[in-house]
């Protein structure tokens, strides 16, 4: 199976026609041959515009436009769209991102050669234009290779790195997203954390030293119905939401462990659902400490190296011979 027919990129969008156009132009410039699904939950006017853009700019792409009811939540729309994916690997590609085929190819190769991994992520940098200057920061990522679901969850949350835009095995990504939908949270930030946790409990995931792409930071990147972590922590609903998330994740760990025991591969002593619930709570609270007091985040040498290397990629981008013209074309929005 070639890389072209092994990966599907899922592009969720909501009332952002200008970003859909830019995203499709990027796919053309990058000569992307992967299957692309535009998962549109916009209002009718924007849906018509997005569908027309997909037809106009998708002639040389393997792209499909799918309309979803506007009332669906982001997580529900993504889950329904992911059920349309038939390829072994899949990735979320936001409508305002610039991820590259060359990077995805290397990520797919890593998954092919490492059957023990369920997801991999490369080097991503976040760029924000501030007048004539640019603010550049790395999207840091590190290996989560512990043996048990609880160990992986604890390590991942205490040094949290987003897993949302990794390249996933479609089977495990769909399973994680299905359980994340069950949380029914009205806080997008908590949804992302829960999805990341549900990925961590399923298996190991790792950093691959390849340039995956760019995320743009801008005013519209912030969800209109989101809250910052300070507001979430003091919300009267925080305990209720934490109870819900902890139980969904604990039940998934418990269910997987019971299935493993039946198959003769699990812990013969079994696990207590209440103990798992407590472990998940501890993991979430460890993450919350990092969110509220970033200086408490563990800093290891590998992450410091990623910071400088990511900066160097951008600082030299105009003159880097090893990056193809198609990548530089996509970056013209910044440069």
Domains of the chain: 1-95 (3.90.550.10), 96-333 (no CATH)
Q: What separation in angstroms does the CA of 187 have from each of 76, 167, 248, 251, 314? A: 14, 24, 16, 21, 33
| SS3 call for 35 | strand
In angstroms, rounded to a whole number, what is the distance separating the alpha carbons of residues 64 and 31? 16
- Comparing CA positions, the residue from 2, 176, 9, 253 lying closest to residue 105 is 2
Question: What is the separation of C-alpha 161 from the centre of its chain, rounded to a whole number of angstroms?
Answer: 10
In a structure prediction context, what are the per-residue pLDDT tens digits for the chain, which is 335 residues long?
567 789 999 999 999 999 999 999 999 999 999 999 999 999 999 999 999 999 999 999 999 999 999 999 888 999 999 999 999 999 999 999 999 999 999 999 999 999 999 999 998 888 777 776 667 777 778 899 999 999 999 999 987 877 888 999 999 999 999 998 887 766 878 888 899 999 999 999 999 988 898 888 776 655 445 678 888 889 999 999 899 889 999 999 999 888 877 777 766 566 789 999 999 999 999 999 888 887 777 766 666 666 666 666 666 655 444 445 555 566 565 54
In angstroms, rounded to a whole number, what is the distance separating the alpha carbons of residues 11 and 32? 14
Helix and strand counts by DSSP (H, E) for the chain: 12, 9
- Burial class of 157 by CB neighbour count within 10 A (0 to 12, 13 to 18, 19+): buried
């Amino acid at each position: 199976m070639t890389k072209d027919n092994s990966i599907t990129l899922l592009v969720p969008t909501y009332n952002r026609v200008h970003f859909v156009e830019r995203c499709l132009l990027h796919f053309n410039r990058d000569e992307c041959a992967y299957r692309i699904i535009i998962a549109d939950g916009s209002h009718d006017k924007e849906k018509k515009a997005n569908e027309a853009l997909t037809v106009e700019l998708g002639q040389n792409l393997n792209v499909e436009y799918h309309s979803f009811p506007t009332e669906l939540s982001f997580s529900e729309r993504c889950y329904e769209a992911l059920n349309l994916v038939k390829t072994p690997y899949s990735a979320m590609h936001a409508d305002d991102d610039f991820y590259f085929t060359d990077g995805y190819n290397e990520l797919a190769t890593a998954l092919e050669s490492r059957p023990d991994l369920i997801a991999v992520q490369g080097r991503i940098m976040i760029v924000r234009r501030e007048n004539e200057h640019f603010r550049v920061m790395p999207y840091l990522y590190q290996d989560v290779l512990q043996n048990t679901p609880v160990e992986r969850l604890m390590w991942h949350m205490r040094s949290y790195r987003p897993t949302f835009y990794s390249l996933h095995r479609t089977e495990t990504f769909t399973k994680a997203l299905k359980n994340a939908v069950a949380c029914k949270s009205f806080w997008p930030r908590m949804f992302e954390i829960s999805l990341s946790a549900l990925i961590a409990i399923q298996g190991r995931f790792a950093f691959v030293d390849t340039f995956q792409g760019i995320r743009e930071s801008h005013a519209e990147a912030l969800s209109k119905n989101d809250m910052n972590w300070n507001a979430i922590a003091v919300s009267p609903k925080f305990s209720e939401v934490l109870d819900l998330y902890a139980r969904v994740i604990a039940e998934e760990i418990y269910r997987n462990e019971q299935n493993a025991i039946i198959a003769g591969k699990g812990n013969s002593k079994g696990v207590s659902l209440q103990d798992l619930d407590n472990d998940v709570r501890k993991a979430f609270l460890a993450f919350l400490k990092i969110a509220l007091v970033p200086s408490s985040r563990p800093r290891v040498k590998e992450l410091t190296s990623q910071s400088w290397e990511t900066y160097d990629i951008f600082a030299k981008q105009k003159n880097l011979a090893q990056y193809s013209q198609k990548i530089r074309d996509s970056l013209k929005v910044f440069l």
